[in-house]
Amino acid sequence: MGPVSGVLTQSLGLVLGFGLAILLGGVLVYDLTQQRHSVLRNFPIIGHFRYGLEQLGEYFRQYFFAGDREELPFNRATRSWVYREAKNEGGAIGFGSTNDRREPGTVLFVNHPFPVLEEERLPTPPLMIGEGACDQPFLARSVVNISGMSFGAISQPAVQALSRGAGMSGCWMDTGEGGLSPYHLEGDCDLIMQIGTARYGVRDPDGAFSNDKAREIARSVRAFEIKLSQGAKPGKGGVLPGAKVSAEIAGIRGIPEGQDSISPNRHPDIANVDQLLDRICSLRDLTGRPVGVKTALGDDRFMIDLCEALARRGAQDAPDFLTIDGGEGGTGAAPQTLLDHMALPIAEGLPIAVDALRSAGLKDRVRVIASGKLVTPAKAAWALCTGADFVHSARGFMFALGCIQAMRCHTNTCPTGVATHNRRLQRGLVVEDKAERVANYVRSLNREIDMIAHSCGCRHARELGREHVRIVESPDRSVPLNILHPDR
C-alpha cells in the first residue's frame, strides 16, 4: 500500500468515525430527552439492546430454547408433522413419542384387540348436506376441509394454492367473510361462501343484502355459511386496514378502495334465533343451495334456543350444517383479551352442540363441522368420535402453505407470503408447489384418520364413537369420552 492509499484509508476511517460519533451523539441526546421509555432515559444507547433482545426473544425461544412439545399456539412437533405430510415425506418417527401421554387433556384411542383387516376396510363414505331441504344439496367427499380465510387476510397466491390443492384432493374450501374472488375459482374446487356481518360480496352499494348478487354467486358455490362469530374473537368484527384494501379487494367486497374494511360485531338484522332461521330459509329459497351457520359457543344457551325454536317451527327450517368454532381459533388478527379468554374451547363446545342436536332429534338433519386447532389426525379423529361429521382447519393449511408461525399475520410482513400483500414477499409462495402440498396434507389427514379408525376396530372413520377414545384426567388416570359426555 502506497503513501497515498494509506492517507486515503486513514481519512476514510476518520470520516466514518466522525459520522458514527455524530450518530451516537444524536441517539444519546434523543434518549436523554424523550419521555416515553424509562430505560432509555436512564441508560441511553445501551438501553436499545434491551428492546432489540425483547423483539428477537420470540424467535430465539422458537428455534433454540423451547422444547418440541412446549410452544404455543402450535408446538414444533405438530408443525413438523404437517410439513412432512405436506411434502409427502411420511409421518413415521423413531425411538418413541415425545408426547407426554400423562398430560391432562391428552387424547388416547382405544385400540381393538382384533383390529380390522385390510380386506374388511371400507372407504369413508361422503355425506350429503342439505338433502331434502334444498334444491341443490351438496355431496361432501372429504372429512377434512379448508376453513374460512378471506382474500385480504391471506394473499392472492395463498388463495390460489388452496383452491388448486382443494380441487386435487376433493375437499371443500370456505371463502371466509371477504367474499368470492376469481382466485377461489381457479382450482375448480367445492366452495362454501361465507357471509359475514358486513355481507362482503353479497351487498349493494348501501351495504344492504343483495338478492341479485347472492343468486349470481350461488352459480359458483356449493353452499352458504352465515357467520355469527369465530373462535378467535366472538363479538368482534374483522378489520382490514385501508392500506390493504386495494381496488381489487374493494371490488370483491363491495366497499370503497383505500378505506378501512370494518365488519360490525354482529349482523344488524339478526338479533335472535328466529331471525337467524328466517335468514337461513330465505337464503336457501333464494339460491337453492344449503345454508349453514358458523359460531363459537360461550355456553349451551344458543343451542337450547336453536333447538327450542326448531321444535316450534319444524326441522325444515334448520340450518343444513353448523360449524362450531373453538375459542382457540385465531388465523387472523384479534384482540389478545378475546383470544386468551373468550368462548369455549372445542373440547367443551363440540359435545354441547352435538348433544343438543341429538336430544332434539336433529343430528341427522344438521351436519356438524368442528373447528379449533384440529390440525392432526388424532385431534380430527377425536372430533369424529365426539359426533362431528366434518373437520375444518385453517392454520393447518397455512402450515401446508409454508407458514413458520412468525406471528406476523396482522402486520403485512409475513415472511412466507401467506398473509401479506407485499409482492416481494409473495414471491416465496410458489402456487404450483404449495397446491401439491395442500393436496398431500388433505390426503394424509384423511388416510391417518382412517388408520386410527381401523386400529379401533371400525371399518371406516364414520363408525368412530365416544367409546373409542379416552381423555387423560391425571397422570395415572384416563376416562372414556362416553363417560365424560354420555351419548344421548
Which cell numbers in the block locate residue 373? 386447532
pTM of the entire predicted model: 0.87
Answer yes or no: CATH 3.90.550.10 is held by domain 118-484.
no
pLDDT tens digit sequence for 89-136: 877 777 777 777 888 999 999 999 999 999 999 999 999 999 999 999
Quote the pLDDT of residue 31: 83
Quote the pLDDT of residue 141: 96
Quote the pLDDT of residue 79: 82
Q: Is 319 left (phi over 0), alpha (psi -120 to 50) or beta?
A: beta
Q: How is the chain split into domains, by residue range? A: 3-65, 118-484
- Asked if residue 360 lies in contact with residue 352, where contact means CB atoms within 8 angstroms, the answer is no
Helices (H), ranges, 376-477:
377-386, 395-400, 423-426, 431-455
* DSSP assigned state of 65: I
Average pLDDT, the chain: 89
Quote the pLDDT of residue 241: 75
* Helices and strands (H and E) in the chain: how many: 16, 15
Quote the pLDDT of residue 155: 92
Indicate the SS3 state at residue 211.
Answer: helix
Listed as ranges, residues in the chain with pLDDT below 50 are none
- Asked if residue 313 lies in contact with residue 284, where contact means CB atoms within 8 angstroms, the answer is no
Quote the pLDDT of residue 174: 97
Distance CA 202, CA 215 (A): 9
Distance CA 96, CA 280 (A): 49
* DSSP assigned state of 174: E
Quote the pLDDT of residue 161: 97
Helices (H), ranges, 417-477:
423-426, 431-455
Distance CA 176, CA 174 (A): 6
In 10 A of CB 461, how many CB atoms? Answer: 25
Quote the pLDDT of residue 51: 65
